[in-house]
Amino acid sequence: MRKIKEVIVVEGRYDKNALSQVVDATVITLGGFSVFNDKEKLVFLRRLAEKQGLIVLTDSDGAGFVIRNYLKGALPKEQVKQAYIPDIHGKERRKRIPGKEGKLGVEGMKPEVLLEALERAGATFLDGETGKSRKGETITKADLFVLGLAGGQDSAAKRQKLLRKLDLPEHLTANGLLEALNLLYSRDQFLECVKKLLKNV
């Protein structure tokens, strides 16, 4: 089991249970939307972010992104890493029916998918390996614009197709996409990959 320095923040206790099978880390639950009114928890999260750093790992549905975006605005950006799970349609075993958007949440992800999401976010592994943070030039908004993924006609549709191809959550904004891409790819890798994909977009 890999040991992680940062505190991992998830939506609920089933997510925490799933993660505790995969990594040795402090995992804090937000209690879903109740975090919006929990000032004490926010103060606690700020202290943890300052001391150890945080990794936010929410579901890839709309509700997960509402919570993620709230935390982005409430916590110091430089002390928080964002981990994203892919959009995978399905239903968790404990549920009778799928969620509103029919996607698996953190609790429904396979252990290797969760580990990869944490590695991509740049988690600090205490066994000597750090996550797959990329070196070199960063991908910029100008790159997205040149590729027709931002600021142009049909940009949103092109982004959606790209998100599906790259197994990224469909609710990512242009800024969220930029953040995720810089976690996953070097600029050269991204440009090469996207040029191939956009031929079919």
Question: 3-state SS of 71-133?
Answer: HHHHCCHHHEEEECCCCCECCCCCCCCCCCCCECCHHHCCHHHHHHHHHHCCCEECCCCECCC
Count: domains in the chain: 2
Examine the domain organization and report whether 175 and 109 are in the same domain: no
Examine the domain organization and report whether 114 and 153 are in the same domain: no
For position 109, what pLDDT does the model report?
Answer: 94
- Ordered per-residue pLDDT tens for the chain, 201 residues: 899 999 999 999 999 999 999 999 999 999 999 999 988 889 899 989 999 999 999 999 999 999 999 999 999 999 999 999 998 888 888 887 877 888 999 999 999 999 999 999 999 998 765 555 445 688 888 888 888 888 888 888 888 888 888 777 777 777 777 877 876 778 888 888 877 776 654
Residue 102 resides in a domain: yes
Residue 153 resides in a domain: yes
Examine the domain organization and report whether 110 and 147 are in the same domain: no
Nearest to 115 by CA among 38, 195, 25, 175: 25
Examine the domain organization and report whether 86 and 149 are in the same domain: no
Q: In whole angstroms, how far apart are CA 171 and each of 12, 65, 138, 201?
A: 20, 7, 22, 19
- Expressed as residue numbers, the domain containing 145 is 141-199
Examine the domain organization and report whether 17 and 57 are in the same domain: yes
Examine the domain organization and report whether 116 and 145 are in the same domain: no
